[in-house]
Every structure is written in structure tokens, then in C-alpha cells.
Structure 1
Amino acid sequence: MLHEEPWLTQYSEAIQHRQERFQAAIKAIKSNHGNLIEYASIHEYYGVHYLPKRKGWAYREWAPEASQLFFFGDFNNWNRESHPMKRTPRGDWEIFIPESEYKNLFTHGSRVKVHVISAKAALDRIPAYIRRVVQDPETHDMAGQLWFSEDFQWTDENYSPEPSLKQPLIYECHIGMAQEKEAVGTYQEFETAILPRIKAAGYNTIQLMAVMEHPYYGSFGYHVSNFFAPSSRFGTPEELKSLINKAHELGIAVVMDIVHSHAIKNVNEGLNEFDGSDDQYFHPGEKGNHVAWDSKVFNYGKTEVQQFLLSNIRYWLEEFHFDGFRFDGVTSILYFHHGLYMDFVSADLYFNEDVDQDAILYLQLANTLIHALKPNALSIAEDMSGMPGIARPIEEGGVGFDFRMAMGVPDYWIKTLKHKQDEEWDMFELWHQLTNRPDKERSIGYAESHDQALVGDQTLAFRLMDKEMYFSMSSLQQNLVVDRGIALHKLIRLITLTLGGEGYLNFIGNEFGHPDWVDFPREGNHWSYLHARRQWSLVDDPLLRYAHLNSWDQEIIKLANRFQILAAAPADQLFLDPDKKIIAYERANLIFIFCFHPTESFFGFPIPVKKGGYYKIILNSDDEKFSGFSRIDDKTSYPADENCTIKIYIPNRTAIVLKPNDP
């Protein structure tokens, strides 16, 4: 990394130090635990497990500062005192439940809790490693639930996520809001109704949000309470497994949006002050509070915390056959200041005392574990700071992620649409924003994030067309606002896909310009589900122009798959005219021409190409089936002259893709 990025040479000592810490940690883990995979197996010890030799169940918990733990639930009529747990010298607590005495009481579906007595309080808690948590619909009280169902019959033994690792085309989605009904969707409904749509759309990967259990639905799944429990509001663990198994059958990888950046601060549902202390899983005092997210910050330097989080990774990969993770809030993980109110304008900010070296080590261990368990798994970092090496192999001086989210791209698009008239768009800035990324780090480009779809903000489609989306999307009428919006929506998505990274992400529904923001049920909207759903009836109506946007998205994804565009080398600029607002570039042996000019079209416009021969249009956004005006004849071949230049008609607000063709 230092050889290829000489500007980092002055930080060589810091980079070398983090490498030495990683090597020392691996050496210690091998010495004490055999290997990293065994180190990440603590979930097989803690929690509730059946012991065949003893013919009963053991429940174990780590709570070093507690003075007494009692296990209770349905099996003992919720008696908080009848089943005390025994303490070990290292701060573990254990109880054995013999099958002979509790065969018809300690059963599948029974609810359990643990009563924790400490110097601070005596509280009912949910076991930290519990595999299922259910919420009472009336009281909203949450409890652990025993889940002893038979093993799920997987049929995906021949599936490999390797195509997704090579070129991830990611469909980001939320199970609960994926249906059109005004209610919470389920794993089963997603499998039967949404997976076929994703397959038809051409995406090779889905990124599932909100899988880990969270008490407040409106948190979008980011305030996690129970890290080993798939959210029960969407269905059973077996139904989630069935969804993933079906995705694999369709050739689709399933990546989980994993939240290891923070945890819910609730003491009734989560880990906070589990044993009565404020520094069991988290940093003590204010250091352990995330002021912006109203949550708790993990102490990544603690062995027990490392094992908890690493075991969590192993659990989701092995138990549910996930194909990798998109790590939420990596910027918050990396820095003690969590990236709040920070502009990373100096490289010094990546290598000073504000960087959490324990967090970097944890992420290196996490990525090493992921690829040891599943070599073709995807590991994606959501880091807005631009930490050097975040998506480079550890042996090269990096942190080990396969990809980084190109978070500046959606920010650029939304700022451009908010603050600039079409005539003011800067083509040099556009090119820079979509291509300015580390050469050796693969990026996931995306035109808009799910955050931009949340209430209080707007999707690209809504920002482009506003209220006209409600009244003027019929294909039987013309509307200048809608015409402009659809044209730019198509251009923005194609240029982001083909120029903005080595992977691509779309949030559910945005591919067809979903008209509404996302607003989960809350007191402020009278607990309404009206905006916590996806209106598929809009795109399924052939008389609405949403269908045209959807057809365009299918075509550009098909194009990416056919020519492996994102797996190809970065684009090579062929032409840029700031006044005519034309950009042309080559990638994957294809020629991409964009005209962002709001009014001017150009006849016989010269575009330089790299080699002679004929060029054939294989896609153009002005096609009528994409809500265009059919101003381009796709049957025309364009010969390159002696100067390797083709002359082509380029209408305003149009994208054209050409392929070299034999005469």
C-alpha cells in the first residue's frame, strides 16, 4: 500500500503498528484457542444448549459484576427465585435444566428471562445469546423464546456467491416494508412475492436490512437489542432460512446489513448494564455513549466483546447461510469521535489519537474470519471518512473489506439537484465525483441511499418530479416536469452504475422511481403503515410511466451482467465538453455517451473512439419503451473515420451505449 500510495509514507509507522497488532492478536488467538474460528465459537457455549450426555439443557451467561442470576420463565411459572444460577471464578453463571424433570415444561416456544441482581439494581433481562425474542403485541414486553425446532433442510450446497463477489449488483431491501399492504411484511411473503421481482430485475445480490432483533420497528433495524435473534416480527428462523435458500436457488447472494457499530441502550431488552456495570460490553461513562444515535458503543478491545461480535458473524454465516455482510456505521467504529461533525480534509485525521486501534483490529479479525469461513463471501464497509486501506487486503496494510460504499456519490447527486439549475451542472465535477476513488479499493456506487428516502428528505425521483408524480405519470399524457424527471433519473442511474464503482446498489422500489418517502409507524403519524410499504401496483400498471423506468433499470442491469462492466477496469474518458454538457467514456469495450444539456441536441457530433471499425447502438435512453421520444435510430451503424472518430446524433438529456461491431 505504501509503495502504490506514496502520500501515505509519512504514516508508515502507524500502518506498520496496526499490522503488528493484528499479527500479535492472531498469534495469541492461535496459542490460546487453536485458531480464529474456534475463538469465534463462544455462542456455542453461552446461551441455552442441549447437552446429550447429561440429557438436559445448560444455560450460561457472562455477567462478572452481578451478585446473583436467576433463570425463569414459562417452565417455572415465572418464579424469579426458584432457579438460581451458579457462578464460576471467571464471572460466568450456569444452570442445568434436566430433561427428565422439565420435559413437558422446558419446551419449544417457551418464553424465558434471567433475573439479574447487582449492586445497582435487580432487573429482568433477556439472555444475551438468545436465538429468538418475541414481543407481546399488547404490552410490547419482550422475552426470550426457546427454539428447539428440527434442523432446516438446506438445498443450496452447490451455490457459490462468487459472481456477486466479482460484480455485486445489490438490491437493498427491508422485509417488513417490502409488501404493498399497510402492515408488516413477512419472510414468507418476501420469498414468494419479492424474490421473483429481484430475479427478473437482474440483480445478483440482496442486502437485507433489519434482520437482527430490534424492539422499535421505526429504527429501520439499526437499534439492535438481540444480536443472535432474527427479528420475529417477520416470521420464524426457518422462514428466514427458506428465503435465503430460495434466493440461492435463484442464483442470488444474500448479504446481511450487520450492526456492530453500536447497540440499543435499553436495559430491559438489550445488553446495556447487563451485569449492573456500565462497562461490561461497552466503554464506561460518556465514552460508551453515542450522542448522535442515542445508543451504546462497544469496547472492541475487550476479549469477551471481541468473541461476542466475532461469534455473531460466524453464527449468521453458518446458521443462516448468509453470503456476507455490509457493516453499518464503520466510520463510527473507527473513531472515538464517530465521525460526528467531521470533515476529513487532512490525512492526519486517519492516523491520530482519535482512531480506535482496537476497533481497527476487530474489523481486521472480522474480515479474516468471514473469508476463513466462506472464501467467496462479500464484506462491505459503510465508511464515509475515506480511511486509507479500508478495502485492501490486510497483508497489504489494509483492513480487509472487499468493498467500500462510495458514500460521496449519492450525496453529490442530492446536492446537485437541490442547489443547481440544470444549466449549472458541472461536467468536470460530475466526472470527478464518480471516478475519484482509490485505485486498489473496490467501491459500491449508488445514486441514492435509503437515508434519502426517509421522511424529511426525498428520493431522486420525488426531488425531480415532486407532486407531479401523483397526477401526471400516465403514459397517455405529457408533462414537462415528468419528462425532465424521467430523463434525468435514467441518466443518473446509468452513469452511476457504469462510472461510479466496481459494484452497484439500489434501494427497493427506487429502480422505478417509487413516489413516496419512507416513514415507519410512529406516534407522529398515528402509527400508520401508509409510507412503510412499496406500491408494486404502480410499476405493474403498463399505462403508468413507472413501468418505463423499471424497464430501463432492467436493461441497464442486464447490460452490466452481459458485459461484466463493473468487473472491468475503470472507465477511460474519451470526451468531455462542459458547455454542451456531453461526457463520453469507454468501459468494458463499450462506448457510453451522455448529454445532460437541458435543451440542445447535436447532429453529427464527433466522438473520439480508441479503434476503427463500426459502432452499433445497443441501448439508448430515448427509446419510447423507456418513456423517451424515439429520436434515435438504433439500426444505424457508425463508422470510425481515419482519425478514429464517429459522428453521431446526440439528443438532449439522453444516454447512448455503443458496441464495436463488424462491418
Structure 2
Amino acid sequence: MFFTLTASPQYFPLLSNNSYPNFHFKNKPQFQKLKLSNKWRCSASSKQPRKQQNQPSKKEESSTSEKRNDPIGVLTRLGITHKAFSQFLRERHKALKDRKEEIFERYMNLKELASGHELMGMHRNPQHRIDFMEWAPGARYCAVVGDFNDWSPTENSAKEGHLGHDDYGYWFVILDDKLRDGEEADDLYFQQYNYVDDYDKGDSGVTVHEAFQRANDEYWEPGEDRYVKNRFEMASKLYEQIFGPNGPQTMEELEDIPDAETRYKAYKEKHKDKPPEFFRYDVIDSGKDIDIFDVVTDPVSQEKFRKKKPPLAYWFETRKGRKAWLKKYTPCLPHGSKYRVFFNTPEGPLERVPAWATYVLPEVEGNQPCAVHWEPPPESSYKWRNNHPKVPKSLRIYECHVGISGLEPKITSFNDFTEKSLPFIKELGYNAVQLFGVVEHKDYFTAGYRVTNMYAVSSRYGTPEDFKRLVDEAHGLGLLVFLDIVHSYSAADEMIGLSHFDGTNDCYFHTGKRGHHKYWGTRMFKYGDVDVLQYLLSNLNWWAEEYQIDGFHFHSLSSMIYTHNGFATFTGELEEYCNRYVDRDALLYLILANDILHALHPNIITIAEDATYYPGLCMPTSQGGLGFDYYTNLSASEMWLSFLDNVPDNEWKMSKIVTTLIGNKLQADTDKMILYAENHHQSISGGQSFGEILFGNIEEHSPEATELLLRGSSLHKLIRLITSTIGGRAYLNFMGNEFGHPKKVEFPTASNNFSLELANRRWDLITDKGIYSDLLSFDKDMMKLDQTERVMSRGLPSVHHVNDDTMVISYMRGPFLFMFNFHPTNSYEKYSVGVEEAGEYQIILNTDEKKYGGRGILKSEQYLQRSIRKRLALTLFISVALSERSTFPSIYWFTAFC
């Protein structure tokens, strides 16, 4: 039903916290938290933006970063005093500083830490070669083996002098391109080739010597550059200045060189008779900013030097194009080559799929899994066409699994999903796609949650270029693309995954029981190790840079935050979030992940999935939070499933519905909550979808079929509408559930004889007129309501009425009045609830309309209802007709009061 409210601004009084004389709460003490303060009840005529709670003033914003840091800010904002948790937050803040100091001993900054993918794994070098780097501290020997060298463990190995093995356990292998018959090697080894950009250009024919000579003639002043004549002359002169004409000639003669400070003190002592001007350009402890051009005192030369740019143009002129490279060399590792990394370990030789491999074949018949070298020629590599869509104020997320997204019982490809599913999702009105099961995994039946290769898209669905096209086409349709990322554990496979990777049991994971998930048979990461941090943080940056991903859904944080993997009874006491079972290293990783991602990609969205609702999931990291943008309310789907399975319709508790959907008290930002009525886990993990519960056992031609279908349809719509409108600024739906998909999802396993019969979606059900197409129409209009009227982005709802006896719920969100009657049999001719604005209300969305599969008792276009003012209480209320299992939201318009 739709109500249009016609009203003038003077009829917009604010309700105080105690303005509920006509609203019935079954258990009033339990609902005090539903009475939102006046800061959320702004008059519609007010035009001034309201300052948010704890928003810093301009004066505060100008303070130093250290002053803005408040390790226990999350508790301050929640108004909680808890000494143990406060102390834990302070210790965690100090541990974060110590962890960063540990990181900065090896990396220049956090961006470099998260850019390991630029060095690790297999990379084309401009100097006609490929470089391979791997981290395997427990190995004694490393080589790259593959079909390109007949799987030889000696031909392409780490050599002494080429970072064969450094102090941190990194191995470096150089694979040289092969010179073609009749071709001569380049004069200089560092001759560069432009493999990717402008692959058919850059072949100017200028030699290195010619370019250097031109640089000498056109750029360098006489005597400035002697490199072409004698490359060692400058080094020799410098060596002679330091050690004298008879300096040491061998390493043994060189002995230990004193540290810089000792040498500087000796230098000062040697020149102690010099005037102070002699030391004016010394930079050690000078505290001065030195302009290198100030060294030149001649004004003419100063101006000339300032205008000069580095002579890179001469160097780039020597680079040859891709065609020149192909003419002269054959690639040492052709595109599509299969390879593995070979280790010699204390336990014997091992072959592993590289940890940083970007394309993997996990199931090669009769053979060990292998990586695939993915280096398509530039004419075949995907070219991005679309920019990232603008981040919307509210998220309508459509969750998908590519493999089961088709109608046919087969594994659907990236290309099929791009061509068929993406336009459908756009048509439904969703603005974001969340994909799970995309990252490579060996066992398809795990739905992609036992990841084996963090940097590879699953080869089941297509190639990396196919996935890039999927993301790009989604962006072209205005859809954000979120990736379900599993950093909370890893597959325990040893032939393909990271387990026992370098012959040891503690390379990436904890040893002993701590390294194994208690129930899932997976491995647990060692988040306190800097190399593991580099691997995981770089992985996030890789997906954001290589595949233009717009956000990440961090799967199952409770598995990583607690040593008991979240399998414990939680009562909500803060002691449970800071006791000995909490993994502080895992929390530090999440803080670093959010800080780095938001610094490198300011518009990226991070979503936390945590069943324990760890305090401050979406609070800023500087205020003691973890820094996520959104968090999922896992309790909502569990509540609805419990009601449908175990509770008679007339015994549903409205109080429980509201308290569950409103959110957890330990999360300060409830507007950042993502709600969903049902998730894919329920139907995939042996459970049932709501559609299967509501429609699965109905015999089409039985006498009670009509009534049962009406019941199922009504509940299906009520559950979705209240779930999407009473919570935060985001709503999620798993594909097919929007129309009541009647079949569960069942991946091929031994128990079903590896059948794909239920690993698909029944899109054929919505092509004919009936219950499924009716539910689909309702879901479209529900999404359209948020798209056009911005329902979810209008702040938190103001809940006015919750009655367990009448089974009615009423609340306002912005100008919208939502009323729900969950009672299976009772209708109400005039049901009174409070409203905040005076005027006439018109129905704009009614679940009971015939086009949605309802009975159409109330006609939207004919139904207007005016608010009434109670003289004594000075409050407004509205009386409306409510049929059983029906609902409508209402909107008002600012016109003259009639």
C-alpha cells in the first residue's frame, strides 16, 4: 500500500525519548535501546547538516597524528568502561607500533610491504630474461622445472652471486631468453626490450654507444661523464681517494670498514683546522635541508643545472621493441608453459606449485598440479575500457558463485557469467556483485573456501583475461565488484597449496595444534611473521591492482581472531574479546590490511564477516577499531531460519526480530551493517533455502496449495522487506533467492556420485507467470525503492511500535513509514501507530498486491490516510487497515495541509 502525505512544515514536531504513550512494547525494559535519541529525529524542514557524534572539529583535525590516536576510542564511543579490555587495546596499539618498526627494518614503507607481487613469482625483465623469486627458508636448493626444460632440476636453478639464498630465505632464479640461430648477442647485457607497451614500436636502430655519445655531445658538459670511454674510471678514482694508491686488492686485505659515524669523526679530526664553511655541506647531523644546486656558485651554471632533467630519453632510445626481441630471441618461458618450483630439503626433493603463481591447473589428470606461465602477447592481453563506478551511499549487493550461476548442470564460465548474469543483475536493481569461489582451489565441492593459490583466478571458469573482462563489463554497467577473500585459513593440501611448502611445517603456518583449524581441516596462518604479512597484504593489493576489484569481503574473521577458531560460547562479555584465546597478531594484520588498502585505494570497500561481533569492527584504527567499512549481521539469517524451521507462525516474536535486525550493541556504527535474510551457507552446507522450506513440499494441485503458496509468498516478501529497510546502509542477496529458489545447492561430491544436477540455478522458473515471477517482481520494486528514494541511506530507522501480541512492527526511516503485520490470521481495520510528520499518507509498496502474488485487498491508488493529533499527549498517529501478513511503507510530500 502507498500513502502520500501532504503536509506543511509547522506540523513537524520532534518526538522526545519518552513520547511513546500510544505505542505498545510487550517487554518494555528490553526495548529501551530502540528509543533513538533526538539527534536522529531531525525535522524534514531543517537544512543544516548535523555534526556527527565524535566528529573532530577543525581545530582537532589540525592536531598531530599522534594526538588523534586514541587506543581505547572504541570503548569511549560506546560508553563502556572495562579495565581489562582497555588495557588490551593499549597493549595492542603498542604492539602495532612495534610491528611497524619490525617491518621498517626491511621495507621502506607499508606500500613496499604490500607490493611483493611486483617482485615475487615469475616476472619478465626488460633485459631479455625472466626472473623468478620464491620464499622458502627451509629449502637447501631451488630450481624452476617445467615443460620448457624437460622438467630438469638443474638447468634453471638459483646460482651463487644471484641471491641463491639470502638471510630471509628468498631464492632467485634467472631464466635467460634463448638466442636464435644466426643472431648475435647484444653488445651489452643490459640492453632493454619493450615487451608490453607499444610492442611494435621503439625499435629506432640506435645502438647503446651511439646514444651515449649523443648524450655526451648534447647533455653532459665536457668532463662530466666518462662512462663511454672507461666505465671503471670513476669507480677507480673513488677507490683511490678512499684507500690511497696502494689500497687493499682483496677482501681479506680490505678487512672490516668502520661504520659511517666513526669514519665521519675521523674525517672531522683530520680536517679540524679547516674553517666551518668547509663542513657546510656535510649532511650527518646537520639538521639542514641541502639544495644540491647550491653547491654550484656560478649563477649561470645554477640556472642551467636546474633546467636539466635526467638523461633518461637517451637511454629509452636504445630500447628495442617486442618485434625486435622476437626476431632475435625465443622466450625462455613461452606463454602457457607449465612449471613448478623444485626444492631440495632436509626431507628430500620436493616439487611445489609456486606460492605466487597467477594461473594454476589444480587437477591435471595423472600428473601433479602445476602453474601456468601467463604472459599473453600485448595484442591478446585484455585492455581495460571502463573506470570504477562511483561508490554509492547504500549498497545493494548481489552475491554470486560463477560456477553454479548457469541453468545447465555444468560449471559456468567467466564469459557466460559476463554475458548472461551481469545484465540480469543490473536489471534487478542491484549496484554491487560479490563473488565467492573465484580464487583458485583444488576441491570444487568446498565452494572455493579452501584456497590453494591466493594469486590465481580459478582455471575452472576461464583465464585471467576472461576475469578481467567480467570485472570491466560489470564496471561498464555501473556495478561494483567485491571479492570474497579467505585469509583466515588455507587449504591443507601439500601437492598444490602452501602446507609443507618448503619441506617444513612452519613456513606460512603455525606449528602444532595452533597451525590447524579445529574442525575444518585447514591450516592457520602465522600472522606475526613479516614474510607472511607480505604475502597476504600483497595479495590484497594484487587483486585491487591487477583485476581492479572494488572491495573485499573478509571471510570468517572469527576463525583467525581466536585460537579456538570462534567455536566457543559467547555471552557478549568484553572479557571474551581480550582473553588468552585472542590472537593479537591476527588483529594487527587486519588493522594493517585496512590501513594499507584505504591508503593505496581510497575508494575501496572492506567488509568484515565475524560471527562474534568483535568490538569496533568499523571504527577507525586510530580509535582502537579494526578499520572496516561494513560488517555483516550473521544473526539475522539464523533467526529467520530458526523461525521457519522450528516456530509456529503465530508464535514469532516481534521483539526478537527487531532486536536481531537492529544490530549488536558492541558495534558503534550500526549504519555500516550489512543485513541479509538468507545466505548461501544455509543451502550449500546441507541446509535449505527459504524457498525450499516455504514451497518445496507443496503439491501443486492439492486443495491447500493456494493457501500454502499465499503463506509462503507473504512470508518471503515480509522477511526481505523488513530485513532490507530496518538495518544499515547495505543489503545482500544470494543469487536466485530473490525469487524463492526452491532447490538447495549441492556441489559434486562422492556422496552424490559427483553429480552437477543441483549445482546450478533454476532461471527457467521465472520465465512463466506464477509465484516465482511474482516474487522476482517484488524484489525488483524493493530495489527500485532504494534506488529512487534512497531509503537505506537516510540514516537509522526510528522504531515506534513493536507488539508481540498483535505481531505488528512499525518504524520510520526518513519520510517513510513502514508497517508490518506478521500475524497469520488477524487483520486490523484501524490499527493506530505513531508518526513523526503530519499530513496524508499514501501507500507506495504493498506486499499484498496481486502483481506480487497477494490478494489485493487494499487498492494503493485509492487509499489515503491522514495523521491525527492527540490533544492531551500532543503526539501524532495514523490509523490504517492491515490485512494478515502484509506490509507497506509510506512517503510524505511537502505541500499544503488538506
Report the TM-score when normalising by structure 1.
Answer: 0.96
Match of 1:70 among 110, 133, 143: 143
Alignment-derived partner of residue 218 in structure 2: none
Q: Distance in 2 between matches of 1:107 and 1:184?
A: 29
Alignment-derived partner of residue 612 in structure 1: 838
Alignment-derived partner of residue 771 in structure 2: 545
Q: Distance in 1 between matches of 2:166 and 2:576?
A: 42
Structure 1 residue 136 displacement after superposition: 4.6
Give, as a single letter, the amino acid of the residue that structure 2 aligns with 1:648: V
Kindly indicate whether residue 172 of structure 2 is the aligned counterpart of residue 94 of structure 1. Answer: yes
- CA deviation vs aligned residue, 1:155-195 (integer Å, no higher than 9, x gap): 223x33411xx311111100100001111001110010000
Q: Distance in 2 between matches of 1:439 and 1:6?
A: 10
Give, as a single letter, the amino acid of the residue that structure 2 aligns with 1:34: M
Q: Distance in 2 between matches of 1:43 and 1:109?
A: 20
SS at match of 1:4: helix
Match of 2:391 among 162, 166, 169: 162
Q: Distance in 1 between matches of 2:760 and 2:818?
A: 35
Alignment-derived partner of residue 860 in structure 2: 634
Q: Which moved more, 1:25-34 or 1:529-538?
A: 25-34
Give, as a single letter, the amino acid of the residue that structure 2 aligns with 1:366: A
Bigger RCO (CA 8 Å, 6+ sep)? 2
Inter-CA distance 108–477: structure 2 relative to 1 (3 Å threshold): farther
* Conservation of the 8 A alpha-carbon contact between 2:635 and 2:660: yes
Q: Which moved more, 1:260-269 or 1:575-584?
A: 575-584
- CA deviation vs aligned residue, 1:545-576 (integer Å, no higher than 9, x gap): 10111111111111122222222222111222
Structure 1 residue 29 displacement after superposition: 4.0
Match of 1:38 among 105, 112, 116: 112
Structure 1 residue 431 displacement after superposition: 1.1
Q: Distance in 1 between matches of 2:653 and 2:638?
A: 15
Alignment-derived partner of residue 791 in structure 2: 565
- CA deviation vs aligned residue, 1:493-516 (integer Å, no higher than 9, x gap): 000001133311101110111111
Structure 1 residue 607 displacement after superposition: 2.1
Match of 1:214 among 415, 434, 441: 441
Kindly indicate whether residue 152 of structure 2 is the aligned counterpart of residue 79 of structure 1. Answer: yes
- CA deviation vs aligned residue, 1:88-144 (integer Å, no higher than 9, x gap): 232211211111258255200010011222112322210110110024553374210
Q: Runs of 4+ in structure 1 displaced over 6 angstroms? A: none
| Unaligned ranges ≥5, structure 2 | 1-73, 180-328, 871-875
SS at match of 2:845: strand
- CA deviation vs aligned residue, 1:433-452 (integer Å, no higher than 9, x gap): 11133332521101111111
Kindly indicate whether residue 714 of structure 2 is the aligned counterpart of residue 487 of structure 1. Answer: yes
* Conservation of the 8 A alpha-carbon contact between 1:46 and 1:60: yes
Match of 1:453 among 658, 664, 683: 683
Kindly indicate whether residue 819 of structure 2 is the aligned counterpart of residue 593 of structure 1. Answer: yes
* Conservation of the 8 A alpha-carbon contact between 1:160 and 1:376: no
Kindly indicate whether residue 494 of structure 2 is the aligned counterpart of residue 267 of structure 1. Answer: yes
* Conservation of the 8 A alpha-carbon contact between 2:363 and 2:442: no
Structure 1 residue 30 displacement after superposition: 5.0
SS at match of 1:232: coil
Q: Distance in 2 between matches of 1:136 and 1:415?
A: 39
Q: Distance in 1 between matches of 2:578 and 2:685?
A: 36
Larger Cα Rg: Structure 1 or Structure 2? 2
* Conservation of the 8 A alpha-carbon contact between 1:50 and 1:56: yes
Match of 1:655 among 857, 879, 887: 887
Give, as a single letter, the amino acid of the residue that structure 1 aligns with 2:815: N
* Conservation of the 8 A alpha-carbon contact between 2:178 and 2:331: no
Alignment-derived partner of residue 735 in structure 2: 508
Q: Distance in 1 between matches of 2:850 and 2:369?
A: 53
Q: Distance in 2 between matches of 1:495 and 1:427?
A: 11
* Conservation of the 8 A alpha-carbon contact between 2:369 and 2:496: yes
Q: Distance in 1 between matches of 2:881 and 2:76?
A: 45
Q: Distance in 1 between matches of 2:341 and 2:690?
A: 47
Match of 1:525 among 748, 752, 773: 752
Q: Distance in 2 between matches of 1:126 and 1:263?
A: 15
Q: Distance in 2 between matches of 1:147 and 1:477?
A: 59
Kindly indicate whether residue 689 of structure 2 is the aligned counterpart of residue 462 of structure 1. Answer: no
Q: Distance in 2 between matches of 1:56 and 1:518?
A: 47
SS at match of 2:868: coil
Give, as a single letter, the amino acid of the residue that structure 2 aligns with 1:138: E
Q: Distance in 2 between matches of 1:638 and 1:121?
A: 82
Q: Distance in 1 between matches of 2:837 and 2:88?
A: 46
Match of 1:16 among 83, 90, 96: 90
Inter-CA distance 535–104: structure 2 relative to 1 (3 Å threshold): same
Q: Distance in 2 between matches of 1:152 and 1:17?
A: 47
Match of 1:439 among 668, 675, 687: 668
Alignment-derived partner of residue 275 in structure 2: none
Q: Distance in 2 between matches of 1:248 and 1:264?
A: 31
Structure 1 residue 359 displacement after superposition: 0.5
Inter-CA distance 29–64: structure 2 relative to 1 (3 Å threshold): closer
Alignment-derived partner of residue 624 in structure 2: 397
Higher strand share: 1
* Conservation of the 8 A alpha-carbon contact between 1:132 and 1:147: yes
* Conservation of the 8 A alpha-carbon contact between 2:157 and 2:174: no
Alignment-derived partner of residue 139 in structure 1: 366
Structure 1 residue 27 displacement after superposition: 5.0
Alignment-derived partner of residue 55 in structure 1: 128
Give, as a single letter, the amino acid of the residue that structure 1 aligns with 2:131: A
Inter-CA distance 76–2: structure 2 relative to 1 (3 Å threshold): same
Give, as a single letter, the amino acid of the residue that structure 2 aligns with 1:492: I
Q: Distance in 2 between matches of 1:581 and 1:85?
A: 72
Structure 1 residue 478 displacement after superposition: 5.2
Kindly indicate whether residue 552 of structure 2 is the aligned counterpart of residue 325 of structure 1. Answer: yes
What percent of counterpart residues are identical? 35
Q: Distance in 2 between matches of 1:278 and 1:184?
A: 34
Alignment-derived partner of residue 354 in structure 1: 581
Give, as a single letter, the amino acid of the residue that structure 2 aligns with 1:33: Y
Q: Distance in 2 between matches of 1:589 and 1:316?
A: 40
1:472-483 matched pairs, under 5 angstroms: 472=700, 479-483=706-710
Q: Distance in 2 between matches of 1:238 and 1:175?
A: 15
- CA deviation vs aligned residue, 1:71-97 (integer Å, no higher than 9, x gap): 111101222343332422322112111
| Unaligned ranges ≥5, structure 1 | none
Give, as a single letter, the amino acid of the residue that structure 2 aligns with 1:647: S
Q: Which moved more, 1:78-87 or 1:231-240?
A: 78-87
SS at match of 1:290: coil
Give, as a single letter, the amino acid of the residue that structure 1 aligns with 2:809: I
Structure 1 residue 482 displacement after superposition: 1.5
Inter-CA distance 344–143: structure 2 relative to 1 (3 Å threshold): farther
Give, as a single letter, the amino acid of the residue that structure 2 aligns with 1:47: G
* Conservation of the 8 A alpha-carbon contact between 1:592 and 1:656: yes
Alignment RMSD = 1.8
Q: Distance in 1 between matches of 2:711 and 2:122?
A: 59
SS at match of 1:620: coil
Alignment-derived partner of residue 634 in structure 2: 407
Give, as a single letter, the amino acid of the residue that structure 2 aligns with 1:446: Y
* Conservation of the 8 A alpha-carbon contact between 1:161 and 1:377: no
SS at match of 1:185: coil
Inter-CA distance 335–344: structure 2 relative to 1 (3 Å threshold): farther
* Conservation of the 8 A alpha-carbon contact between 1:455 and 1:517: no
Structure 1 residue 316 displacement after superposition: 0.2
* Conservation of the 8 A alpha-carbon contact between 1:273 and 1:279: yes
Structure 1 residue 456 displacement after superposition: 2.4
Structure 1 residue 69 displacement after superposition: 2.0
* Conservation of the 8 A alpha-carbon contact between 1:324 and 1:370: no
Match of 1:229 among 444, 450, 456: 456
